[in-house]
Amino acid sequence: MRQLFQRSYDFDRELYNWDVSSSFPKREIDTLKKRTRDNALFLSTAVQNNFSAFMDVFSWVRNDCHVIGTLDKLADDFTSEQINSGMKKQVLQFIQSADIKICDILVEEGKFEIPPIMEKVLVAEEKERLINMAQDMKSWKVKTVHKKKGGGDAYLNLHEESDGTRKIYAYAGPILDVLENGYTLIVDELNSSLHPIMMRYIVDLFNSSESNPKNAQLIFTSHETHVLSGDVLHKDQIWLVEKDSEEKSRFYPLSDFEVRDTDSFQRAYLSGRYGAVPLLKSVHHGK
């Protein structure tokens, strides 16, 4: 892997340090440095100035890299869009693989409506701007269908389902999409509202050449330690984050340590061998 550029902030000197590959013309790089504002990305500035060397990188970030946050409703909408475009069977199979007894999913496309509480606090100009933006936005009504024990169907709105079921629904569309196209998926707190076995199932989907023939990539954060195992993740796939006394975060791979794939990564991590664990203090009650 070749590093094209790096920009890091020097807090002592209050300026940015630049490390740019010598393969780029120095005059062009110096020009881009001057044009890159402190609150702007170097990559976007380079593309805006038609610096062709970074076009492929920018294209990958824009088109092939997908991000899901912990409270990302866009993931829900993406899954609904997938169902509406003919992917219902695949989405259902993914959800049912998590032992969720949903036999059908109904999605209805509608117009995005500004929530009443938001209308009350927006001034006229802001409200008009939001209405114009919302004209091309879609809203989805999603119902899940369950079989009743005595026969017949029971319908639930998606928001009536458990947190875990809603999380699986949100993940279904993006995961199926990246596996099909060989994209990269970045997920913050993959373990949130997921059973540990389901989390491992998702990781295994990306590690299997059968379910991931196009080498899609999953990058995720998690506070769960059960995936710290050589039969789930290789030591090169595990990176740890440790905060120092100044609250700066340091990233380093597990492969920095002398570990074997047969070692218990989880036990060693929880014992503090690899660092990146909170240093707890006793709380004393009283006056």
DSSP one-letter string for 120-142: HHS-HHHHHHHHHHHTT-EEEEE
Residue 287 confidence (pLDDT) above 80 = no
Percentages helix, strand, coil for the chain (3-state, rounded to 5) are: 40, 20, 40
Give the residue, 4 or 150, on which the prediction is more confident. 150
Q: Could you tell me which CATH class the domain 68-224 is placed in?
A: alpha beta
How does pLDDT run across 212-249, given as a tens digit for each residue?
999 999 999 999 999 999 999 999 999 999 988 888 88
pLDDT over 70 at 172, yes or no? yes
pLDDT band, very low/low/confident/very high, at 253 (cuts 50, 70, 90): very high
pTM attached to this predicted model: 0.84
DSSP reduced 3-state for 110: strand
Q: Quick: pLDDT tens for 110-156.
A: 877 766 776 676 767 776 776 676 666 778 999 999 999 989 999 99
Of residues 112 and 267, more confidence is placed in 267
Among 146, 145, 165, 140, residue whose Cα is nearest residue 83: 140
Look at residue 175 in the predicted model and tell me its pLDDT.
Answer: 98
The three state secondary structure string of 78-102 is HHHHHHHHHHHHHHHHHHHCCCCCC
Helices (H) and strands (E) in the chain, counts: 10, 10
Q: Does residue 156 contact residue 165 with C-beta atoms inside 8 Å?
A: no
Looking at per-residue confidence, does 282 or 60 come out higher? 60
Tell me how far apart the alpha carbons of residues 85 and 267 are, in angstroms, rounded to a whole number: 45
> How far is Cα 74 from Cα 88, in angstroms, rounded to an integer?
18
Instruction: Quote the pLDDT of residue 139.
Output: 84
As a dihedral over the C-alpha atoms of residue 15, residue 17, residue 20, residue 24, rounded to 10 degrees, the angle is 40
pLDDT reported for residue 124:
72
What is the average per-residue pLDDT within 45-50?
91
pLDDT of residue 282: 81
Find the helix packing angle between 163-181 and 88-96, rounded to 10°: 130
C-alpha 18/C-alpha 9 separation (Å) is 9
Confidence at 5, pLDDT banded by 50, 70, 90: confident
State yes or no: pLDDT of 98 exceeds 70: yes
Q: Residue ranges of the domains in the chain? A: 5-50, 68-224
Neighbours of 82 (CB within 10 A): 19
Beta-bridge partner residues of 3 = none
Q: Tell me what pLDDT residue 286 has.
A: 64
Q: Is pLDDT of 1 > 70?
A: no
Q: How far apart are CA 271 and CA 220, in angstroms?
A: 23
DSSP annotation of 63 reads: I
pLDDT (tens digit per residue) in 65-93 = 999 986 667 889 999 999 999 999 999 99
Q: How far is CA 145 from CA 103, 157, 272, 285, in A?
A: 6, 9, 46, 51
